[in-house]
Structure 1
Amino acid sequence: MEQDAKRPSPTDEKGSASWDDSTSVEVVNYDEGVDVAVDLVAGQHADDAPLDPAEARRIRQKIDWHLLPLLFLLYTVQGIDKGTLGSSAILGIRKDNHLSSAEYNNLGSAFYIGYIVFEYPHQLALQYLPVARWLTFNILLWALFVGLHATASNYGGLFGLRFLLGATEGCVTASVMLVCSMFYNRTEIGERIGWTFQCNGLALIISSFISFGVYHADPKHHPNQWQWLMIITSLMTFVVFLLFLWRFPNNPTTAPFLTPDERISAVKRVQSNQNGIETKTWKKHQFLETLWDPKTWLFFLFAAISNLQNGIGIQYAIIIKGFGFSTWQTTLLSIPSGAVQIISVTTGGLLLRRFPNSRSWIAIGAFVPSVIGAILLMTLPIHNKSGLLVSYYVLNLGGTPGFVMMLSWVTSATAGHTKKLATNGIFLIGYALGQICCTQFWKSQYAPRDMVPWSINLASYVGDWILILALRVYLQRENKRRDAIQAASGKSDNEFGYVERTDADGQVIRQRVEKALLDITDRENMSFRYVL
């Protein structure tokens, strides 16, 4: 929505703006849906000076202190929960529920079927409802459903519970992506999402110790070993629910741990993102733009292909035990996998801080250890169980940081609240499709060498590299196109736009705001530049 206008003064005006054809600015009607931060910053825009770096750093540290511990806890218990099926494979769940190999694999798919079915409803809920409240409600349901796993006695019951579990957990990553885009700038988003995803490695370590502990429970008495694992995970998730209910914020404009002035500074601190905070109005044109945007589908294909590698998420205990280790050894040998994930994601975050516009190169490099690990797992002698185990750890060194870089890329490369939610939803649907498929080619007839699944993994790594390069080339060309348009016009980017509203007397009021608060998309906002 663009009009040619002379830039009004930095104060609100009542229908008296003068206009000039020399400057192009966006003007948005308030009733059509603008950012929630517009009213917060009303009257605060007279001072266009950037936020003092020391103050910006103080605000960021305060946000980190209140937000990150909750996100870390959330992803730790989610990682433990996702690992419960894999851990329980050697703790009696297959025997007690009379599961065949195919049925066990289907339980891994059931989770992501629920994830896909409920992903669009989750995105609609995040559009209209407070983010914190919706996320907190789903954490409560998630705690309930994982606890009910301990009551299951057959394949049908477990399939239904895995479906419901996926349905509730489907909002977690979408909510974290959304919240990070509200509170952090582009480089910080990549680091914070990376730190949060590190907790999957921590979860694997904790889960291994829990599995080792419950392994020593008497299998002749109830609850059984795998049932104790589900109960403990459920209780941990319920504690996280209580903490989120107490302290998790909806957005910076209402964050209880920030003062009114700090909320304004928090909004100003992330204005360079050019994607605003949030808008509680669904916009059809933004949704349609998402469907026509090529990068939406490049991100979708990456998510689907990269997650063909994640069948090991429910197979890891079976894989390690297949190398020739005992059950109790297997419960502990997963710990180094978690440690190498933490190391690799930390390294990726540090590289992003040092090279802020290098998400694509970091992601490509992150998949190299996985390629090496997969080749070693296919070629080392089957009797070399130590070598196979180390190769499995090398495999875990890659992959996760690459996916984290792409997740932060999706979050940073889209503007317009409806478009952002729709893009996130499509990306996560691709993620779930890959997860559904990846469980199906880990069949018992391929063991112990598993040549077919490892070959599929290798092919998917090549697909990842092609898609990452395609995204970089496409977005780099778009940035150059916008630079050329700006250079040809001889004008600098206009950082401000106007919100138009009508008062009780029928007078039109124009309020100057940061362009990011107009809730315009990355394709509409020619000031937007894509991170690479």
Structure 2
Amino acid sequence: MFFDKVLLNYAAAMGIKKNLKDNEFSDLNTIFGAGYIFMMPFTSYFFQRFPLSKILGTFIFLWGIVLACHSACKTYASLMVVRVLLGMFESSSAAGCIAISGMYYTKSEQSKRIGFWCIQAGTGYIVGGLVSFGFQHYHGTKFESWQIMFLVVGLVTIAFGALTFALLPDNTTNAWFLSQEEKVEVIEHIRDNQTGLENKAFKWEQIRELFFEDKLTWLMLLFTGCSQISTGAIGSFSVTITGTFGFDSYDTALLQIPIGVLVIIIIFITTQMLAYWGQYTLITTSMFIPSVIGCIVLISLPLSHKVGNLLALYLVYSGSCPITNIYIWNSWNTSGYSKRIFRNAATLIVYNVCTIVAPQMFRESSAPRYIPAKIALLVTQCVCIPLQLYIGYLSKKENEKRDKEQEGKEPERYEFLDLTDIQNRNFRYMY
């Protein structure tokens, strides 16, 4: 998913921009997020009402077709159409993975598992850099290198979509790789999550609670927005920004590989720390310190300092990696199947608002240094630190309140009644 989404980023160094003018490349990155946001509520509804594996497999198959169709597009209008469709179909990916993780694993285990699949964002950078570098050596007359790249990668995605449709189980109870006894063991294993199992009954009262009664919802969405402006910016413009430091297109492609390695290291270390120690607030807050330093350096250094600017750009990626922690927070701190599905949906909508807004910060009028965009990155990364600390404080106070409510009382057992985290007073927030 990540590789497919950012393939346009690599195509920027392979000649696709010669068919575009002014801010049209920024618009192509923006319109992907618009398609994602439009489709996300429908995708969440489909996951609620229909078999998860069939929806996810179908959407992957369809976005593979759309990705392959990029190879036939040379005009701005045709590229806008396929970018909208790609955003619509990719809206299934992260929400589907989060839902699957919650079906099989305890909260601490989910940290590791969500970390494992989020690490593949780093793998996407590594593979993308190598694939882009390789296809740049194609010099045919009928097709350009970026067209062949889109076609090949699209066909691979189509094949994977078919495998997902055929092999991925919908939930624990129909997992083909588990015996009946093992299914019971898994259900008992996740009992302490207090988050329940998959429930196809759509509950409007849980959606109302999420947006109008849960005091953490809007704070977490604001935190998501501030933190992921960096993802929307560097995810779309890392190749372009690296090129402004004076590297050629071949070097620019290869210099994306260290980004992938860095993302893998950061996500792996932080998710393992969350799994073993918890301490969500402190671990997540610390991830913004390198990013703030990187933004300051990018603003201060002239472009002639190639190595210094490149290292600063790498530091900024630390501030984009907390999206993994946000997925984990949603899984840890949300009970009630409808509420959890739509909290994930709201998070992904905000994430994609960032992918709409952030590319528009990079205007041709401010090239090649893009100082206004870099200042906006610095401000949003700084805001994340006190905001995350405040969310942790509110979670801690709520736990203390519930501890006092239940002093001297025998806690009731209703783990699988599909109650929300507010209704279930046994529930405790991780912070």
User: Which one has the bigger strand percentage?
Assistant: 1
Structure ranking higher in helix proportion: 2
Q: Where in structure 2 are the equivalents of 1:64-75 lying within 5 Å? A: none
Identity of aligned residues (%): 30
| Residue 92 (structure 1) aligned with residue 19 (structure 2) | no
- 1:156 and 2:77 matched: yes
Contact 1:112 1:166 survives alignment (8 Å): yes
Letter of the 1:474 partner, please give it: L
Q: 1:334 is aligned with what amino acid?
A: Q
Unaligned runs of 5+ in 2: none
The Cα of 1:147 is off from its aligned counterpart by 0.5
Answering whether residue 149 of structure 2 is matched by residue 249 of structure 1, we say no
Does 2:272 match 1:350? yes
Q: Does 1:389 align with 2:310?
A: yes
* 1:516 matches 2:395: no
Q: CA RMSD in A?
A: 1.2
CA contact (8 A) 1:194 1:401 kept: no
Q: CA separation of 1:222/1:360 partners in 2, compared to 1, >3 Å: closer, same or farther?
A: farther
**Whole-angstrom distance in 1 between the partners of 2:422 and 2:126:** 43
- Map 1:485-524 onto structure 2 (within 5 A): 485-487=405-407, 490-495=408-413, 515-524=414-423
2:229 maps to 1:308: yes
Output aligned runs, 1:412-431, within 5 Å. Answer: 412-431=332-351
Q: For 1:402 and 1:270, how far apart are their aligned partners in 2?
A: 25
Identify the residue that residue 365 of structure 2 maps to in structure 1: 445
Count of residue pairs brought into register by the alignment: 429
Match for residue 139 of structure 1?
60
Q: CA deviation at 1:466?
A: 2.5
Equivalent position of 1:229 in the other structure? 149
Task: Report the equivalent of 2:255.
Answer: 333
Report if the CA contact (8 A) 2:230-2:316 is conserved: no
Q: Are the aligned partners of 2:122 and 2:264 in contact in 1 as well (CA < 8 Å)?
A: yes
Structure 2 residue corresponding to 1:187, chosen from 92, 95, 108: 108
**Residues 80, 233 of structure 1: 8 Å contact kept:** no
Q: Distance in 1 between matches of 2:285 and 2:328?
A: 14
SS at match of 2:360: coil
Please state how far the C-alpha of 1:119 moved relative to its aligned partner.
Answer: 0.7
For residues 22-41 of structure 1, what are the structure 2 equivalents within 5 Å? none
Map residues 4-15 of structure 1 onto 2, 5 A cutoff.
Answer: none
Name the CA distance, whole Å, in 1 between partners of 2:47 and 2:346. Answer: 14
Contact 1:203 1:338 in 2 (8 A): yes
Matched-pair contact (CA < 8 Å) for 2:294–2:316: yes
Give the superposition deviation at 1:399.
Answer: 2.0
* Letter of the structure 2 residue corresponding to residue 346 of structure 1: F
Match of 2:128 among 207, 211, 229: 207
State the one-letter code of the partner of 2:11: S
CA distance in structure 2 between the aligned counterparts of 1:470 and 1:524, rounded to whole angstroms? 23
2:427 is matched with 528
Provide the residue aligned with 2:30 in structure 1: 109
- Does the CA contact (< 8 Å) of 1:345 and 1:400 recur in 2? no
Distance of 1:354 and 1:403 partners within structure 2: 19
Q: Hey, what's the Cα distance between the residues in 2 that align with 1:254 and 1:467?
A: 41
Q: What CA distance in whole angstroms lies between the structure 2 residues aligned with 1:283 and 1:371?
A: 41
Partner-residue secondary structure (3-state), 2:416: helix
Q: Is the 8 A contact 2:244 2:303 kept in 1?
A: no
Q: In the TM superposition, what is the alpha-carbon distance from 1:424 to its structure 2 partner?
A: 1.3
TM-score w.r.t. length of structure 2 = 0.97
The DSSP-based 3-state class of the residue aligned with 1:439 is: helix
Which residues in structure 2 correspond to 1:469-480 (within 5 Å)? 469-480=389-400
1:147 and 1:234 in contact (8 A); partners too: yes
8 A Cα contact 1:94 1:100, kept in partner = yes
Q: Tell me the alpha carbon deviations over residues 193-214 of structure 1, each in whole angstroms, 9 at most, x when there is no partner.
A: 1111111111111111111111
- The structure with the larger Rg is 1
Residue 141 of structure 2 aligns to which amino acid in structure 1?
A: H
> Deviation digits for residues 139-159 of structure 1, max 9, x if unmatched?
011101001111112111111
User: Displacement of 1:465 after TM fit?
Assistant: 1.6
Counterparts of 2:88 and 2:118 in 1: how far apart (Å)? 20
**Contact 1:299–1:410 (8 Å) recurs in 2:** no
CA distance in 2, matches of 1:354, 1:447: 44
In structure 1, how many angstroms separate the alpha carbons of the residues matched to 2:181 and 2:128? 42
Q: Which runs of 5+ in 1 are unaligned?
A: 1-77, 496-514
Is the 8 Å Cα contact of residues 362 and 402 (structure 1) preserved in structure 2?
A: no
Contact residue 275 and residue 517 of structure 1 kept, 8 A: yes
Give me the whole-angstrom Cα distance separating, in 1, the residues matched to 2:426 and 2:17.
56
Contact 1:123–1:421 at 8 Å: present in 2 too? yes
Equivalent residue, structure 2, for 1:128: 49
State whether structure 2 residue 90 is matched by structure 1 residue 174.
no
Q: Deviation of residue 448 (structure 1)?
A: 2.4
Distance in 2 (alpha carbons) for counterparts of 1:168 and 1:301: 25
Q: Aligned residue for 1:35?
A: none
CA distance, structure 2, for counterparts of residue 449 and residue 79 of structure 1 = 26
Q: Secondary structure at the match of 1:518?
A: coil
* SS in structure 2 at match of 1:294: coil
Rounded Cα–Cα distance in structure 2 between residues aligned with 1:400 and 1:433: 15
Query: 1-side partners of 2:308 and 2:20: how far apart?
Result: 31
| Counterpart-to-counterpart distance in 2, 1:222 and 1:369 | 45
Q: What is the CA-CA distance between 1:353 and the residue it aligns to?
A: 2.6
- The letter for the 1-side match of 2:194 is Q
- Between the aligned partners of 2:152 and 2:238, the Cα distance in structure 1 is 21
| Structure 2: distance between partners of 1:304 and 1:416 | 24
The equivalent position to 1:379 in structure 2, one of 300, 308, 315, is: 300
Alignment counterpart, residue 435 of structure 1, candidates 343, 355, 375? 355
Match of 1:500 in 2: none
1:82 and 2:2 equivalent? no
In the alignment, the residues of structure 2 paired with residue 272 and residue 132 of structure 1 have an alpha-carbon distance, to the nearest angstrom, of 25
1:239 aligns with 2:138: no
CA distance in 2, matches of 1:361, 1:228: 45
